[in-house]
Chains A and B, each alone.
Chain A
Amino acid sequence: TQLLEQSPQFLSIQEGENLTVYCNSSSVFSSLQWYRQEPGEGPVLLVTVVTGGEVKKLKRLTFQFGDARKDSSLHITAAQPGDTGLYLCAGAVASGYALNFGKGTSLLVTP
């Protein structure tokens, strides 16, 4: 059973477009993290959100944690080819526990 569902699974857009990736669950998480993974490498942490309703911005990336701490979204403004990669959300049901990962959204940004 997949605890976290990500959508869309694949996304191919042109440079300059905006996009949103969703991460949904029926479970409540104490914290939720977004990672970006490139081929042949391990995931790299982008952000951690811990409070319901929290919004964090990282340059052109905006992360939001749902009020009930069950879902999250990642919005990218004016996507660039360097944004290409696999975006993974991961939630911890309690502090100190291993993360539950979604299957990821594979993003391709073409010039």
Chain B
Amino acid sequence: GAGVSQSPSNKVTEKGKDVELRCDPISGHTALYWYRQSLGQGLEFLIYFQGNSAPDKSGLPSDRFSAERTGGSVSTLTIQRTQQEDSAVYLCASSLRIRGSRGSYNEQFFGPGTRLTVL
């Protein structure tokens, strides 16, 4: 399909294990974002990639979290030594810059998310 895809859709792991979450953005989208959504909460920004620029990592909650984007396309979010509080839905989005007469903005398209459960 033409949308953002994420894998796996569900991941159950034991506390202390490492996990890798994958995101395939929409072809041609230069920006890619990772968010985390906990029960009853809005989306929490984690990290943002824009083209070849250095990523904005300001939302990563700890140094156990890291992400990379290879070849300007696929991205992997890695969580090391998982903790129970890491349990959440991890959402990936890609965006296209819209340049309109009233200014430019990004329209983000989201994948279905990966539900991570840490036991």
Residues of A within 8 A of B (CB): 2, 4, 6, 30-31, 33, 35, 40-45, 48, 50-51, 54, 88, 90, 92, 95-104
Contacts and interface: CB of A to CB of B under 8 A. Distances in A.
Interface of A is mostly: loop
A48 B111 contact: no
Given A42-B91, A42-B113, A45-B109, A95 B45 contact: no
B33 interface: yes
A97 B45 CA distance: 10
Contacts of B103: 30-31, 50-51, 95
Interface of B is mostly: strand
Contact of B112 (A30, A42, A45, A98): A42
Interface range on chain B: under 10, 10 to 19, 20 to 34, or 35 or more?
A: 20 to 34
Given A88-B42, A98-B33, A40 B112 contact: yes
Given A48-B107, A50-B100, A2 B42 contact: yes
A97 B113 CA distance: 21
Interface of B: 4, 31, 33, 35, 40-45, 48, 50, 56, 59, 91, 93, 97-98, 100, 102-113
